[in-house]
Chains A and B, each alone.
Chain A
Amino acid sequence: MTNIREVRKESEFLLDVRELKTYFHTFKGVVKAVDGVSFSLKRGDILGVVGESGCGKSVTGFSVLRLIDSPGRIEGGEIIFEGDSLLKKSEREMEKIRGNKISMIFQDPMTSLNPVYTIKKQICETLELHGGLRGKEAHNRAVELLRLVGIPSPESRVNYYPHQFSGGMRQRVIIAISLATSPSLIIADEPTTALDVTVQAQLMKRLYQLVKSNNSSMILITHDLSLVSGVSDNIIVMYCGRVIEKGSSESVISMPAHPYTVGLLESIPKMTGERKMLHQISGMVPNPFEMPPGCSFYPRCELGQKICEAEYPRLREIEEGHYVSCHFAGRRNF
């Protein structure tokens, strides 16, 4: 009974992920790539998912689309999208959602386009499959999409092959494809990491405008805190497969509470002000096969105490909408 009530309560959200668990069963043991991740996303919002490599941020993105290949498996939790549970859908139903209502932008612009087809063919394929557009109509829409993402003279470039574009231009094409069906959710996994700063700035600006003007939502997965802070409404910070802090962009960036977030922010070199010795988080991310039983950040944490070693801290709300998973955060100044 409680389930129904909860669903109704959360229906203001476009996407609601609860206690998601995705594990990989390898020959060395089980890797809990995503271990109890919960977040929700309102229509029109941009959510930044930040963390270092191996923290499970990409796997979270793939899990939402149920694109987890063996030896990985979604072991538990709920993914509710537009009121429906995605985990209960058949593979066929998922195919209708992927690339249509939810689309994905991958990191590598060099490999996410098929090199043997023209751009037009690749955009029209999506339009045909999900939008039912054909022939002239599809062609016009493809040109329009390319114009939208800022490709100059789209009428002629629509007939280009991927190799005729530069990296930045290809990523624009990929964005165009992902927008083709006006999806309500876009999952962008490190969309600008392979690109130069000036191109990144152009592209993020364009993507931001398009998402906001379509009233779509976006999950922006990246390692770059500065980039996320400039774009997203909310941020979740992940570490070792778990959400360790979440809240609005302003509060997470200006008042970080988890020692990991604090350390991360302090270890980024600044563009202005006096140069200081960079703060460094000592040690490394723990081996995924030998996760500490308690707080996974404990071995590297300056605040660590007995309780941290034994017990995993649950997410607590330290101020409105700002959650942190630390026994000591907010209780002490640091």
Chain B
Amino acid sequence: MSMQRREFLQLLAAAAAAGFALDSQELLASQGAEKFYDLPRFGNVSLFHFTDCHAQLLPTWYREPDANLGIGPASGHPPHLVGEHLLRAFAIRPGTAEAYAFTCLDFAAAARTYGQVGGFAHLATLLRLLRANRPGALLLDGGDTWQGSATALWSRGQDMVGACQLLGVDIMTGHWEFTLGHQRVREIVDHDFAGNIEFLARNIKTADFGDPVFTPYTLREIGGTRVAVIGQAFPYTPIANPRYLIPDWTFGIQEEEMQIQVDEARAKGAAVVVLLSHNGMDVDLKMAARVSGIDAILGGHTHDGVPAPTLVKNRGGQTLVINSGSHGKFLSVLDLDVRAGAIQGYRYKLLPVFARLLPADPAMAAYIEQVRAPYRARLEEPLAVSEGLLYRRGNFNGSWDQLILDALLEVKGADIAFSPGFRWGTTILPGQTITMEQLLEQTAISYPYTTLSEMSGATIKALLEDLADNLFNPDPYYQQGGDMVRVGGMTYTCAPGARIGSRIRDLRLAGRPMSADKIYKVAGWAPVAEGATGTPIWEVMADYLRDRKTIAPRRLNLPTLIGMEHNPGMV
């Protein structure tokens, strides 16, 4: 019995003693789930990667999408496989713990059986297990770490800074981090992170002279092997999020310079070159085909939990493209066998973090307890009971967003409501009480204003076309990685495979065709323009929920789709 397995069994015993539901542990064990964590070491260089945890310090629920359409050549390939299509492609048996982790299938029932996922204290335990036989392994954080919870918003990311230091993160890059404003990012990177966590972002430059703002890449030694890690922040941060929060910085994909930096790292003796990316998986795949010399891309942003790497061929050989899911639900383990200055083989596993199988690490649990203490009363305020499942993820709508749309329409007296296509936000099970903390897991941003504007039918159509193109443009470099704006009050038809200008059709309000010249009242939140004001979305929602006390299951307003009948990116 390996050291690791023995320790694991001890942990299981400890969990049982601590009163964890043993039936689900036995079920997990009977399916061999404990073997997820009994990962023999392979090779001599190991990398751990998590991404897009969105500040979820505690275990949570997170339902994967039922719609993640791939258009054109992306259709039918990871990450654009959902539900049974994903299970088939990766040979995962339905009804298992893995099926629960990777898909939306029977989510509420599976969630009750297999329990919550993620949580930094549980992740810390998993890392302790894996590090035991992987000396020198690096822990990479793909970003979207300092945003997504009440405590991250109220402490301006400080709770996550401390948690990542305790977890032993070595290197990170970012996206939502920048919505805390450039000064706050600088403060954390220059002071808190000095000497412990390296913040890499090769594609952020000063807007005036194009000087680098952050370190582009770093060279580390793992067991005598030189490993280069290059950081790529989300290329479209100033477009998808408010530019005024980072007024002096410019971003972008910057592909040409990527090749130069990869070559430079090789010239400095790197036997392994890894890109820590917040591109989004479609952009990663295109970049892997066009830039040569990157051994692996460890990516995030689009929240795709993909069970196996995609091998992409390019001029220099091949690149493994890995995306590691979101919300602390998964940890990627990449083991490399590096000899004679080159990779001879690899093993990869995307490990679901089942909180019931991994007892909380005491030091991390104590830290989390301490950062939550000052806010506890506000966090735990019950607002309403949800009768149905509330989730966000999906290309066109989610029940949490539908609830927000319904509230905005009523509270603002609007004809139409828009809610942004964010992919972060946890899930509420039927019968669960929605607390202020859970409301903030859907809404905690630094530009939370609700708005009411007048828009012509023509403007609304142009807006929907523009946003649909950000999602469905067949060229990944023109995609921004969010989902489609959620729409309430009106209906439309969408042809994702069409060109911009002809995707959005048949716009109707109360069943009657909308008019291009007519003016409509449109409610929304999260405006990216400078100077916008309005009641924060969580205040509007908290009042609405307190007033209702019970939230009936939502009926989703979804567009009628054209040409997607056989797309395996939908169930």
Q: Check if A and B associate.
A: no
- Residues of A with Cβ closer than 8 Å to B? none
- Residues of B with Cβ closer than 8 Å to A? none
